[in-house]
Amino acid sequence: MKSKSELRVAIIGGGIGGAAAAVALRREGIRADLYEQAPVIKEVGAGVGMRPSTVYFFENWGIYEELKSKSLESNWMQVVTADGHVIVNEKWPLLTDNPDETWARLIHRADLIETFLNQLPPDSIHLSHRLEKIIDHGNHAEIHFENGHSIEADLVIGADGIRSSIRSQLFSDKGPIYSGTHAYRAVVNNKEAFDLVPDDTFKVFVDGSTQIYVLPLHHRKEVSFDVTLQSEDSAWRPIVEKKDILKHLANFDSNIRKTAKSVEVYTCRSIYDIDPIDRWHSNCITLLGDAAHAMQHHLGQGANMAIQDAGVLAECLSEAGSISEALQNYQAIRKPITDRYQELSRMAPTQDAEPAFLEKDQANQLNG
């Protein structure tokens, strides 16, 4: 393998996984160029919970203090009935061997991506680069973009999301699978939303097949508000009027209804995932994050898995004697974990679920 300083690395996709991979590689002395199809990286999405297994990498990369300044620590999770009765109240599931790590750090996706991008040289970030074609030459790859630019790289990391062009061109022709549900998301700052989460507890309000995820972002003076419900409309970005959302919330707490009504614009998305694929890598190309193992949002593990992918991939590249060996080791470590999380993510929290938060048994299942 070339020396770290000589490696040509291209990351396709400037989301959480791609940006994390660029930071992880930089900490190993490897420069990576980040290629994003959008003309600008916007503040999109809502809140996510960073688990201890993920926060470990922030500490390792020397950026924990920035993460800490943009997030808050949450120690409790609740499942709540539509009328506000708490039926499950428990600490965040323990996923490590440290009994003190029953927590999550709650952060807005935009702050998370900003934390990563702040670590990267501006000239390593290339916007308006949508991948058109990738050619695997065995010991290097050739990439062509729709804007006419083309490059060669010793390693290509496909972090181009659930509809990954790299995955479909090289690894699997199986498309994303519609879950039968929509997610309507917003970030709000009204009193009713704060009244729902006066402390730092993450809550899931449940009424039959409808779930409302309320995640406090009090450090931003905001609350992440996510309505998930069943729908036959499989359009990626369904057009849904607010009145059609509100009619599903008739049984919910008055503060839920007031919060939902106060939202001016929802981000509406159909929820898709993919089945596990057999292979993520060739000798010089690999997938990462949603491109490799897109999962539903019920566990809140998509961002965590992408960041952990990035950390493990960088470690494997640092330790292996060749890129090919590193990519084999990376998949061997990560795939059993992400396969299981993909399965669990298809199980939404309900009033009768046992356990209510399915990841609480995850460590035992993977080690068993």
Q: Domain of 294? A: 4-51+65-73+105-176+278-367
CB-CB contact of 196 with 86 (8 Å):
no
Q: Would you state the pLDDT for residue 351?
A: 60
Please tell me the number of Cα atoms within 13 Å of 294 on its side-chain side: 20
In a domain, 113, yes or no: yes
Residue 282: give its domain's CATH number. Answer: 3.50.50.60
Residue 226 has pLDDT above 70, yes or no: yes
In a domain, 13, yes or no: yes
Parallel, antiparallel, or unpaired: how do β-strands 202-207 and 210-217 relate?
A: antiparallel
CB-CB contact of 217 with 106 (8 Å):
yes
How many other C-beta atoms lie within 10 A of the C-beta of residue 192?
18
Between CA 270 and CA 163 the distance in angstroms is 13
- Tell me the CA distances in angstroms from 339 to 85, 158, 265, 274, 289, one per residue in order: 34, 18, 34, 10, 12
Burial of 66 (0-12, 13-18, 19+ CB in 10 A): middle
In a domain, 156, yes or no: yes
In a domain, 206, yes or no: no
Domain count across the chain: 1
In a domain, 213, yes or no: no
Burial of 234 (0-12, 13-18, 19+ CB in 10 A): middle
pLDDT over 90, % of the chain: 84
Q: Give the pLDDT confidence of 228-272 residue by residue, as tens digits.
A: 999 999 999 999 999 999 999 999 999 999 999 999 999 999 999
In a domain, 219, yes or no: no
Q: What is the mean pLDDT of the chain?
A: 92
Task: Tell me the three-class secondary structure of 212-268, residue by residue.
Answer: EEEEEEHHHCEEEEEEEEECCCCCCCCCCCHHHHHHHHCCCCHHHHHHHHHCCCCEE
Beta strands in the chain (DSSP E): 9-12, 32-35, 47-50, 72-74, 76-81, 86-91, 104-108, 125-126, 131-136, 141-145, 150-153, 155-158, 177-188, 202-207, 210-217, 222-230, 267-273, 285-287
Q: Give the pLDDT confidence of 173-198 residue by residue, as tens digits.
A: 999 999 999 999 999 999 999 999 99
In a domain, 234, yes or no: no
Q: Would you state the pLDDT for residue 356?
A: 54
Q: How confident is the model at residue 46 (pLDDT cuts 50, 70, 90)?
A: confident
Between CA 56 and CA 52 the distance in angstroms is 6
Q: Give the pLDDT confidence of 155-174 residue by residue, as tens digits.
A: 999 999 999 999 999 999 99
In a domain, 86, yes or no: no
pLDDT over 70, % of the chain: 94
Q: How confident is the model at residue 367 (pLDDT cuts 50, 70, 90)?
A: very low
Q: Give the pLDDT confidence of 87-139 residue by residue, as tens digits.
A: 989 899 888 889 999 999 999 999 999 999 999 999 999 999 999 999 999 99
